[in-house]
Structure 1
Amino acid sequence: MLSRKYVIGLQPLLWSIFLVLLLYTILPTLTVRLLGLWVYKKKVARDGIALTFDDGPDPDFTPQLLDILSKYQIIATFFVLGSKAEKYPELIQRIHHEGHLIGIHNYVHWTNACMTPQKVRKQLKDSVAAIENIIGVTPIYYRPPWGIINVFDLFLVHRFRLVFWSLMVTDWRSHGGTERIKSKLLAKLQSNQIIVLHDSGQTFGANRDAPHYMLDALDAFLEICTLRRVTFLRIDTYLHLLQFKKRAPSRRTKKFLIFIWLKWERVFHWLFNIRPIDVDNQIFYSRVRKYHGKTIQLGSGEELNSGDLVIELHFNNEKLHQLITESDSMFQLAVQMKQAVKSFMPTLTQHVHFIPEKVKAIYGITMIHRGSKQLGFTLTELPKGIFSRVTQFYLKLLLCLLHPNGRDRLKMKSELLSPRIATISTQELCKKYAVSVELIAISEHAVPIS
């Protein structure tokens, strides 16, 4: 049995692993699934049903599947594995010649959560090359295995259209047989769904004979759909009909997501020892740390160099959500934020006096930075790179989540939504927002602000 001391010693490592997984794959996957951002997973108009098939092609089951689709004159979308496409090019040719759409499902069936960004891109590059060599068409539709992505996959939306699903009937399992799959398909027949099925039982967690039951259930399902005159369309046709419009999350869903986000931030603050500057007015959270980055020329003539101590500011996003809700425009929001920050600056100045270390500057990253220069902050662009892109994605995601108009706001003057580093030297801070001698004298006998 593990000792308590050993378990306690493992806690920082376990927290670190959890944090990496949360930021790298869990949070991005939940975001795109719940908010429907940058992915296509469900229709918003009653134009028909989309049948999609993953994990093929398979030499035994894909020909039978194509025969069934041909029998009912239905076209579908196939998300194939690049390695199988290379192994069975004649099946890829048949899928294409019979009018079905071909997308990609990685080169092999590995989850993106367990791969580096470079590895994911190689999987996609090899898969695209395999399809192009067979049918001469470049696939642009992509479904990641198990519907799991990592944070860097969000940069793929410029090249690929991510397609998830709205109905999964666990057809990779043999348990329950044909009747179970058929009943689940029929239960959702009245709704316009993107249905995902699997024409291979060779992937991890699947039963080898499962496609037998899927094919029998599909045959019966399509016979009923034919009698009911149900329309089936390819994914690209869906997107064309919808003109790329997506369903906005409901108020209840958005409220829930905001609740989860703010709870997660509390955990984040606890993990990294980020504390409120004023417990009675928690507009800012902060921590003292060493600055790591390029040299920044401060307005006071000083330089902020790598290794200098800074107070890192974090805006209270609960307060930000309140300000956004009360604002009619981004301009009004900027004005309110400027007023809130300006009124808080003397408190921040007082906070600096209680820090025993020699702090060079106040430092923060923000996307709403209008009016910062008038408050004495120097604005600097983030150096281009992975950190800049991830930061910009995070801040835009936060704005999309907190702002009442969500994604529509991101489309308005998106060029202005660029994160900046805001810095002010402690020397300039104290000079510009010096509190009175009497207040400092009183503060020296007061309990320090935590």
Structure 2
Amino acid sequence: MEIILWIGFYFLTFYAFLPALVSRIFGFRVFTKGRSDSGIALTFDDGPDPEYTPKMLDLLKRHGAKATFFVVGENAEKYPEIVARIHEEGHILGIHNYVHHMNWFMRPSTVKRQIDQTSDLIKRITGTRPLYYRPPWGILNVFDYANLGYLQIVLWTSLFGDWRKKIGPDKLYRRMKQKLKPGQVFLLHDCGSTFGADRDAPANTLSALTKILDDGKEKGYRFIGIDEMIAVTEQAKKKNKSRQAAKGSEARGQEERVAERKSSIGPIKKIVVSLWMLWEKLFHVLFKLRPVGDAHFFNYRVRRYSGPPLDLRNDRTLRSGDHIMEIHFENQMLFEMGMKSKTSLQLAIRIIREIEKTLPDLARELAVVPKGDQVKALYGVSMIHRGSEGLGFETFELPKGLFARLTNVYLRFLIRVIHPTGNQRVREHSDTLNPRMLIMERNTLLEWADESRPNRRPNRERPVESSL
């Protein structure tokens, strides 16, 4: 029995879990986000629906917008006239399996048969085979990479839970507006008849999308098909490569210095760094961390605070059980930053600057993240004590106990990995390297989102220093 369980574990790991992680984390063989100066890709799943898809098409037509519809084959077979209309009005058709079943629970031959069946159906209706595929729930199995052949897998940049009716049109609109930026691939739904969805949920999507199309027009954005988004992204990548190649000897010298520093890392440390990076990816998945900001230096999650009461600014008190927004640094970026920094002060200044850039995005996330309205403070743990006060943080000692000891060990390890002279720093300043809680009260954080204020940074008179 134990052998059977182990065989099942390894099968699920390599057939299902690893492909999903690889595609999501590393973007292997999938398209998730574009590079465009003004384009946003609207994509719709699960249709066509006889009630809501025509209304979506009417709305898009009024605004001169283009979109991509990933259709379920059995729905397309029921409503071929809607599929024909999608094609005739210049939108892109993609495949969403013949039935809305997860690829993990189907044999590879079954997945391929469903894709081929839907592709043949769309070709009979429109005369053209689709070039794009989105698996239900965005979940792949290991054989999908080989089975899909000419199809491009398309996932998404942002999804909004619009398959649930209870979210309401106003909250859905706020979530969508928060992500209204060029290069985004929006995942929306024009059908509510699939498992787990609410039948009339697309009514909310229609209402919210009406406002989003108006907002996009005011900002000068265009709503484009996934084909154009992929094309402009490839062009942007080529231009970026050309610019990188033309930077000259100074840039190459900088890269060579970084490469030299990386090459000087011993084999044991390389293994440790690799395992550390892998653990971070798993941590992101297990605890559902969300990226924030365009540079993706930081991630966050909303959780409940567990610790002693803390008196904060504005006569607020943080108590055990209160919701907090917990911030995490992207370790890959931190490692790269450490490799490029010549001194500990330079590294600390870079970190403080990145935090300052990200605070407005974190403040705006409170309006869209689930339970964001209940968040009482921004929370983090760091060895950097001074300098953070100038951004509006307050610092507190970690409560003594197992968590404090483990955090101390982990952050010392972190310094050894990313600090320019990490090992020496830990040996020489062991007594002064103590992690502290960095906490920013909610109203202080919200000030960072106020674009009308000429100076959003409080307490600027404090110098930027580091305890690294």
TM-score range, shorter chain: 0.5 to 0.7
Range with bigger deviation, 13-22 or 85-94: 13-22
Percent of aligned pairs sharing the same letter:
42
8 Å Cα contact 2:38-2:221 kept in structure 1: no
Structure 2 distance, partners of 1:219, 1:262, is: 37
Q: State the partner residue of 1:74.
A: 65
Structure 1 counterpart SS, 2:39: coil
Counterpart in the other structure of 2:34: 43
C-alpha offsets along residues 110-136 of structure 1, whole Å, 9 cap, x if unaligned? 111101110001001100111011010
Residue 393 of structure 1: aligned partner: none
Matched, 1:100 2:100: no
What's the CA shift string for 1:63-88, capped at 9, x where partnerless? 11111101111010000011111110
Shift of 1:43: 1.2
| 2:40–2:185 Cα contact (<8 Å) kept | yes
Question: Given that residues 42 and 194 in structure 1 are in contact (C-alpha distance below 8 angstroms), is that contact kept between their aligned partners in structure 2?
Answer: yes
Distance 1:157 1:92 in 2: 22
In structure 2, the partner of 1:144 is 135
Q: Identify if the C-alpha distance between structure 1 residues 214 and 167 changes in structure 2 by more than 3 Å, giving closer, same or farther.
A: same
Q: Could you tell me which amino acid in structure 2 is paired with residue 173 of structure 1?
A: R
* Counterpart contact for 1:38–1:157, Cα < 8 Å: no
Aligned to 2:81: 90
1:1-23 alpha-carbon deviations (Å, 9 max, x no partner): xxxxxxxxx65544432321111
Q: Go from structure 1 to structure 2 and tell me whether the alpha carbon gap of 1:18 and 1:230 turns closer, same or farther (over 3 Å shift).
A: same
How far off is 1:161 after superposition? 0.4
Change (3 A) 1:152 1:100: same
C-alpha distance in 2, partners of 1:16/1:261? Answer: 27
2:244 is equivalent to residue 225 of structure 1: no
One of 149, 174, 186 as aligned partner of 2:177: 186
Residue 237 in structure 1 maps to residue 228 in structure 2: yes
Q: Distance in 2 between matches of 1:60 and 1:190?
A: 29
Matched residue type, 2:73: G
Q: Which amino acid aligns with 1:174?
A: K
Query: Given the alignment, which residue of 129, 133, 148 partners 2:124?
Result: 133
Whether the 8 Å CA contact 2:102–2:139 is kept in 1: the answer is: yes
RMSD: 2.8
Unpaired runs of 5+ residues, structure 1, are 1-9, 264-450
Partner residue in 2 for 1:440: none
Cα distance in structure 1, aligned partners of 2:119 and 2:181 = 35
Q: Residue 94 of structure 2 aligns to a residue in which SS?
A: strand
Shift of 1:45: 3.7
CA distance in 1, matches of 2:131, 2:279: 33
- What's 1:201 paired with? 192
Structure-2 change in CA distance of 1:257 and 1:111 (3 Å):
farther
Q: Look up the match of 2:278.
A: 259
Give the C-alpha shift of residue 239 in structure 1.
Answer: 1.7
1:165: which partner in 2? 156
Distance apart, 1:157 and its partner CA: 5.0
Query: Structure 1 residues 135 and 191, CA, compared in 2 at 3 Å: closer, same or farther?
Result: closer
Alignment partner of 1:58: what SS?
A: coil
How do 1:53-64 residues align onto structure 2 when only pairs under 5 Å count? 53-64=44-55
Q: CA deviation at 1:242?
A: 2.4
How much does 1:192 deviate? 2.4
Question: SS of the counterpart of 2:188?
Answer: strand
Residue aligning to 2:101? 110
Q: In structure 2, give the amino acid aligned to 1:22.
A: T
Matched letter for residue 187 of structure 1: Q
User: Matches of 2:232 and 2:221 in 1, distance apart?
Assistant: 17
Structure 2 residue aligned with 1:22:
13
Q: Which residue identity is paired with 2:83?
A: I
Q: Which amino acid aligns with 2:144?
A: D
SS of residue matched to 2:130: coil
Decide whether the 8 Å contact of 1:56 with 1:80 is kept in 2. Answer: yes
Task: Say if 1:133 and 1:165 are closer, same or farther in 2 by CA, change over 3 A.
Answer: same
Report SS of the residue matched to 1:79: strand
Asked if structure 1 preserves the Cα contact closer than 8 Å seen for 2:161 and 2:167, the reply is no
Aligned residues: 252
In structure 1, what is the equivalent of residue 428 of structure 2? none
Assess if the C-alpha contact under 8 Å between 2:94 and 2:132 holds in 1: yes
The SS at the match of 1:220 is helix
Gapped regions of structure 2 (runs ≥ 5): 242-261, 263-272, 283-468
Match of 2:187, as an amino acid? Answer: V
SS in 2 for 1:150: coil
Q: Which amino acid aligns with 1:167?
A: S
Distance 2:63 2:206 in 1: 13
TM-score by length of 2: 0.51
